Amino acid sequence: MKLLVTGGAGFIGSALIREAIRRGFTVVNVDSLSYAANPENLASVEAHPAYRFYKTDIRDRPALDAILATERPDAIMHLAAESHVDRSIDGPGPFIETNIVGTYQLLEATRSYLAGPCGPQSESFRFHHISTDEVYGTLGEDGAFTEDTPYRPNSPYSASKASSDLLVRAWHRTFGLPCLITNCSNNYGPYQFPEKLIPVVINSALEGRPIPVYGDGKNVRDWLYVDDHADALLTVLQKGRIGETYNIGGHAEASNIELVESICAILDEERGQNRPHSRLIQFVADRPGHDFRYSIDPTKIETELGWRPSTPLSEGLRQTVRWYLDNESLWRKLTVRK
């Protein structure tokens, strides 16, 4: 089976590609190599005969048409997106262009591909759109997001992802495009770009700089190890029902301050220093419109498709910290170009 993956040089996309190649898929990676992409994430598969790469922006419709006609994929897994909330607050434009306009161009290119002479002969073709739980807005102390939770995005990033979700739904309903949507909780793990929370904590702690925590640190997120997410995405692709949405969560809620303190404790153990890294924690002005809590109810994917996360948060954090300690030369280069 040949997959076309957009955004495959990013954090989640590269984890998906590494896992797909390991399982015997052929993968075509379409990525514009924006600031958050890193081809080194795919060093382990770049020479594999089942892997091909196109440096292409998903807004470039003629390029998409040509790639689809040449490669003739059996499925598309769409991960290409601008994804950092803080950047979307500072400048929403690229989020609208990539996440909304880019998704539209990809949907139209896919529709043309399926209707044309180069389209797949099999009825099993799928367009799998990968999204976020942030489209649902915020929760209070109780409750969890289900697939029926109304969309109430609160940042330019989440609004752009909600818009792309609705485009995919509309192209399925109106044009019969065989689509799947997944909405995941916060991903973490090796290879994550340094601007995200967990790499920021690790980097700051290692350099002895203040570790910034928004507000009072009590905002809560559900955390999902990236390799578990890759497994879930391939499960949905192969077993999911056309037209359905599946929420993917890690059963791992933690407040930001709890998460930061856990990372500091792991660094204390790994580095064997007498002065605790937690002394560096510094509370800073809260992010505008900061959602209080996200929580995913993954009952649907667990009961219908038999998928469950396999990495507890404590284990995933330790694996992540150790990866950053063992690969400083790799990720420190990325901090220069943030």
Domains of the chain: 2-189+223-249 (3.40.50.720)
Task: Please indicate whether residue 46 is annotated as part of the active site.
Answer: no
Per-residue pLDDT of 300-325, as tens digits, reads 999 999 999 999 999 999 999 999 99
Does 334 have pLDDT greater than 90? Answer: no
3-state secondary structure of 221: strand
Given 133, 165, 228, 291, the catalytic residue: 133
Given 57, 82, 134, 261, the catalytic residue: 134
The whole-model pTM stands at 0.95
Compute the distance between CA of residue 64 and CA of residue 164 in angstroms, rounded to an integer: 18
3-state secondary structure of 11: helix
Report the first-to-last Cα separation within the chain, whole angstroms: 36
Given 54, 104, 113, 157, the catalytic residue: 157
Task: Please indicate whether residue 133 is annotated as part of the active site.
Answer: yes
Q: Which residues contact 6 (CB under 8 A, 6 or more apart)?
A: 13, 30, 31, 58, 76, 77, 78, 79, 80, 106
Q: Record the tokens describing residue 117, joined without a space.
A: 């002479």
Closest C-alpha among 289, 176, 279, 182 to residue 229: 182
Per-residue pLDDT of 205-264, as tens digits, reads 999 999 999 999 999 999 999 999 999 999 999 999 999 999 999 999 999 999 999 999
Confidence of residue 274 (pLDDT cuts 50, 70, 90): confident
